[in-house]
Amino acid sequence: ILNVEQSPQSLHVQEGDSTNFTCSFPSSNFYALHWYRWETAKSPEALFVMTLNGDEKKKGRISATLNTKEGYSYLYIKGSQPEDSATYLCAAPNTDKLIFGTGTRLQVFP
């Protein structure tokens, strides 16, 4: 059974701080890694789909890196803003089913 783990479980930062969190997944039979942002009372929103080892993707102040050999991905947020407050989910496919981690809940205080 594929296990996707995220750390930390929650994070509180001040506005302007940069932060990062981790998604770990089995490195064998790697196919893709998804990142989603889920704001309270909204739908989860896709951030990135990453497939290549060493891949780095960027969307505004958010970026992600991927290491498929060791089975981890980092999500970075530069200069956090209150509107970045959300739960960040990663997910990896297992026989075409997406297996989600439990998420990192980020709160950015003004």
Partner 1 sequence: KAGVTQTPRYLIKTRGQQVTLSCSPISGHRSVSWYQQTPGQGLQFLFEYFSETQRNKGNFPGRFSGRQFSNSRSEMNVSTLELGDSALYLCASSRNRGSAQETQYFGPGTRLLVL
99 lies in the binding site for partner 1 (CB under 8 A)? yes
Q: Any idea which residue has 């930390």 for tokens?
A: 8
Does residue 2 interact with partner 1 by CB under 8 A? no
Distance CA 52, CA 54 (A): 6
- Between residues 17 and 94, which has the closer beta carbon with respect to partner 1? 94
| Smaller CB separation from partner 1, 96 or 110 | 96
Region binding partner 1 by CB under 8 A among candidate stretches 17-25, 58-66, 74-82, 92-100: 92-100
SS3 8: coil
Look up residue 98 and give its two tokens: 């997406």
- Interface with partner 1 (CB under 8 A), residue from 11, 86, 91, 108: 91
Q: What does the alpha-carbon distance between residue 97 and residue 88 come to, in Å, rounded to a whole number?
A: 19
